[in-house]
């Protein structure tokens, strides 16, 4: 069930669009900002508010890779696996993160602190390899730098 605050925030976002359904991603982002992810119940509530079917909205949510349709950790780590990052050591950084956190890509640590996800590109190719934690971009990564960054989120 959407809260009044969530409904108000969604309605505010919808003022930027000519059609209500055009604000689908922004509406889902409001819910995710409040809950960390978009549950089936919240998706159905947003669909009703926008006047679209839950199936159509789920298609939007699952297409957009930064809308989480299942629970994620308190901190989401997006590790770039683009060609530039791959050439500059993505596999080494991915393996270091996976070992350090004790989870493979796509999983959340047992304590619920981190979720490790791949992302196609973070747009920082000239400073590869790169990752993003909770919206903060980090680049020119080495295993030591990754350890320093993770310590900031402990």
Q: For each successive 10 residues of the chain (154 residues), what is the average pLDDT?
A: 97 97 98 97 98 98 94 97 96 97 97 97 96 96 97 91
Spell out the domains of the chain, with CATH numbers in brackets.
4-63 (1.10.10.1590), 75-152 (3.40.30.10)
pLDDT of residue 154: 80
* Rounded Cα–Cα distance for residues 4 and 107 (Å): 32
pLDDT of residue 65: 87
Torsion of CA 122, 126, 128, 131, to 10 degrees: -30
pTM of the model: 0.87
CA-wise closest residue to 101 among 121, 131, 125:
131
Helices (H), 15-154: 24-35, 40-50, 54-63, 83-87, 90-101, 143-152
The enclosing H or E element of 4 equals helix 4-14
First-to-last alpha carbon distance for the chain, in angstroms, is 32
């Amino acid at each position: 069930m959407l809260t009044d605050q969530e409904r108000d925030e969604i309605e505010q976002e919808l003022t930027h669009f000519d059609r209500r359904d055009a604000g689908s991603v922004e509406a889902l982002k409001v819910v995710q900002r409040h809950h960390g992810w978009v549950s089936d119940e919240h998706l159905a509530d947003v669909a009703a508010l926008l006047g679209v079917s839950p199936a159509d909205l789920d298609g939007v949510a699952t297409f957009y890779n930064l809308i989480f349709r299942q629970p994620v950790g308190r901190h989401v780590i997006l590790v770039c696996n683009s060609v530039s990052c791959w050439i500059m050591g993505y596999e080494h950084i991915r393996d270091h993160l996976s070992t350090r956190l004790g989870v493979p890509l796509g999983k959340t640590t047992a304590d619920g602190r981190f979720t490790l996800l791949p992302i196609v590109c973070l747009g920082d190719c000239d400073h590869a390899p790169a990752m993003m934690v909770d919206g903060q971009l980090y680049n020119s990564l080495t295993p030591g730098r990754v350890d320093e960054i993770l310590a900031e989120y402990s």
